[in-house]
Structure 1
Amino acid sequence: MLNPIDPEVVIRDGGAVGRFPGQIHEGVAWWLAACLVVTQKATRIAVAHDGHPATTAFANSFCRGAINAQHYACNVHYLGHQTEDRLLLTLKDLRGVPGAWLSVDDPGNDVTVHIRLYNRQGNLLDDTNGLAEIRRLIAEDRVPLPVNAQAKGTIEPWHPLLTNGDRL
């Protein structure tokens, strides 16, 4: 595994949490996304972030990991800079689509990245509904890789619905 992490320390609290740089790096987002797609058997996911420069980079890596997960040809609905509540509403609107919310705590120079993963029901992952399996895949260096170019998914900008049904 290139740039190893301590999965027991980092893969927790609904996804991944760690100091950047140090405990976590953009590759972790790629790994999490590929594992989320495979463990949830997802052909579509939604991804949003808080707009911080670090989470923008992590979100881009997350999207690339999702579209390259084995044979799933996952379509990523990329919301970009949105609130976590907006992501959760979008997951509900998309009916049965897992997702991820990326954010940071940035007190001074100590950036902590949070990647929160949600299942098809919009519930935060925990050790009973997918997080333990993702942790195991990463710990064993069994991150799902693409099987061929035809299995590659797509990333498309997604604009959440307003309350009247129009898009933002």
Structure 2
Amino acid sequence: MTAAATRAIEVVSRAGVAHRVHAYEPPERHGRERGVRPSYGTDAATALGVEPARVFKTLVAAVDERTVLAVVPVDRELDLKRLAVACSARRAILADPAAAERATGQVIGGISPLGSRRSLQVVVDASVVDHQTVFVSAGRRGLQLELAPGDLVRLCSALSAAITRDLGPG
């Protein structure tokens, strides 16, 4: 693996899937901004000049007793009840940041559905098919992978389901 490569990039490269890697400088948080929860996905969409609906964030959830990756557009919100139903489970909660990083081997803001430390179930929001290509983290902040939705779903062995809702008022 080269210095610029990540496990996610290695996965798509080995599979021979058409993709593009996009690097950008993630904004630094200063002063009052430092306490504000960053929106890494929205930052990526802005930096790359693409619609937020095409940039998908990867959230880590505990679904019953399993760890699941939920891949949702950054302009929508994960609906935990819908995620639980999609996984034939009773309950889903977001994992805390430390647990998310342990499960994936990646840092918050750089978690990719591809190349996790261990094999995890992946559920991708059904809206993924609305786009010719989508962006997901390449496994590091400031690095995005652009690929076809079908390739993303196939490489993750993902379930596709309606697992989001509109963002609430700001």
The normalised TM-score by structure 2 is: 0.29
Higher strand share: 2
Q: Taking structure 1 as the reference length, what is the TM-score of the superposition?
A: 0.29
